[in-house]
Structure 1
């Protein structure tokens, strides 16, 4: 299972974070290379896998791992994954995060926004020049909660940022994208979708004015016709930030 992918400076190579490894993928040859990083046994391997992650403004790979029983309170972890050395740096441990998910950086590139799906929150962390969250003197990250998503609105999942600095969050089980002002936590607008479980969103297209939204499987009576699709959504007057961050390899 592929939890997330990240771009590299080589346009023909991406990184794929699998269950326990991060591997290079040659997109032209359609082949997987040897693992660049493998999660150690003592970091919780059983029933865990890589989930969401992104390259930071400075080329670091920030990526989370989740437990299959996260709904029952089994915690996850958030890492900086250095694929050049094969080392993991723990940023948030089992006592700090439930289900690590969407992330985005502010336009000044000194703040990382981060979704904990289990807690239903979006928090902000101060970062260094590489976009990596900065630890305090005790070696811990001190985040500030910006948004607490009401359960009736859905579960926050993947996230991106627009040109005005607003956060767009996929509201899984809420059939919508929510747009939040990070300075106030206000829900500025909600865009309804023809699926129940949107998972992640990002801006693309020639003018960066299309929100591409991934969706997950739905089962049973009442399942949406378009589950499993990639949706393209245009919101008038809204566009994304130019440039995608690449991971140093």
Structure 2
């Protein structure tokens, strides 16, 4: 086993760093600062960060097939032209809920942009519950709502065979799996595949590696954990009724900050992991103990690689 190394690559102290995405064309890491209202791009070549400021909390960013990016901004799906620093609204959701905003989002293997909403927080992880929903923006720019009653819509990814959609509603303290139809983008029955341990705290962003294992950032837990989701296909489980085996934790990587928010793989061969973090909700004393809160970290030596991000097809 190669030795795991953790390096702080962007020492910015972002308020809520989130949604890391590797942009291969630019050899750069994209990410957002939600409450700081910025979309950021860190170049692995120059080690510099460029930012675009926006007019609302920006919670996720994704690549776009036609070039540039798509983002979730307030309760809008929007297009971002990087050079021009131009944001245009594609469509809006949750119009009856003025206190809501989008949270995490990701593009599925067919190019659809999934993102969920939540109520604005009173303070970190404290909010009016059951106000959120999960949405998909299709390539024709239509939007479908999958379900509501969500607390904090968070990490998402798809199994390597595209038959399972993994999803986190943070305050359920669970990583869930849905049957998934890649042809239509529809989700089926839901089950919990992993319940968080007390010290792991709140499940946040998530990504998958090339071995089909999930990596989950633990907010207030100061770590990323690697899970074996053990999703079994329908045939195999037919004889045991509706029993699905519970996933298990394979590995824990601790970081020097408590508020780890999300993770993705990047670098030349997707063997590096990038982890975002937050500083919102930390008092002076806490921040003095964790001066790197809100920074971006690079983890090497994990011995696994990640799956390149899919671009939005619209």
- Which residue of 1 is the match for residue 286 of structure 2? 222
- Which residue of 2 is the match for residue 238 of structure 1? 304
Of 28, 31, 39 in structure 1, the residue corresponding to residue 86 of structure 2 is: 31
Closer, same or farther: CA 236–72 of 1 in aligned 2, 3 Å: closer
Write the distance in 2 (CA, Å) between the matches of 1:15 and 1:246: 9
**Deviation for aligned residue 1:152:** 2.4
Residues 156-181 of structure 1, C-alpha deviation per residue, up to 9 Å, x if partnerless? 00000011111000001001001111
- Which residue of 2 is the match for residue 138 of structure 1? none
Residues 95-132 of structure 1, C-alpha deviation per residue, up to 9 Å, x if partnerless? xx321100111111111111110101111111112472
* Contact 1:125/1:133, CA 8 A, preserved across alignment: no
Structure scoring higher RCO (CA < 8 A, sep ≥ 6) equals: 2
CA RMSD of aligned residues (A): 1.7
- Which residue of 2 is the match for residue 185 of structure 1? 247
- Which residue of 1 is the match for residue 109 of structure 2? 57
- Which residue of 2 is the match for residue 88 of structure 1? 143
Q: TM-score, normalising length from structure 2?
A: 0.71
Residues 40-97 of structure 1, C-alpha deviation per residue, up to 9 Å, x if partnerless? 523x2x2210110111111111110011246355121111123634x43111211xx3
Q: TM-score, normalising length from structure 1?
A: 0.88
Closer, same or farther: CA 239–72 of 1 in aligned 2, 3 Å: same
Write the distance in 1 (CA, Å) between the matches of 2:184 and 2:61: 18
Structure 1 residue runs of 5 or longer lacking an equivalent are 136-141
Whose radius of gyration is greater, 1 or 2? 2
* Contact 2:111/2:139, CA 8 A, preserved across alignment: no
- Which residue of 2 is the match for residue 139 of structure 1? none
2:100 maps to 1:48 = yes
* Contact 1:56/1:130, CA 8 A, preserved across alignment: no
- Aligned ranges 1:103-122 → 2 under 5 Å: 103-122=156-175
- Aligned ranges 1:67-82 → 2 under 5 Å: 67-69=119-121, 71-72=126-127, 74-75=129-130, 76-82=132-138
Closer, same or farther: CA 233–144 of 1 in aligned 2, 3 Å: same
Write the distance in 1 (CA, Å) between the matches of 2:105 and 2:198: 24
Residues 156-207 of structure 1, C-alpha deviation per residue, up to 9 Å, x if partnerless? 0000001111100000100100111101411111000011101010000002
**Deviation for aligned residue 1:2:** 0.6
2:295 maps to 1:248 = no
Write the distance in 1 (CA, Å) between the matches of 2:226 and 2:279: 24
2:223 maps to 1:132 = no
Query: Hey, which bits of structure 1, 4+ residues long, moved more than 6 A?
Result: none
Of 263, 269, 273 in structure 2, the residue corresponding to residue 207 of structure 1 is: 269
Q: How many residues align?
A: 235
Write the distance in 2 (CA, Å) between the matches of 1:228 and 1:123: 27
- Which residue of 1 is the match for residue 69 of structure 2? 14
Write the distance in 1 (CA, Å) between the matches of 2:256 and 2:181: 39
Write the distance in 2 (CA, Å) between the matches of 1:16 and 1:129: 22
Q: 1 or 2, which has the higher strand percentage?
A: 2
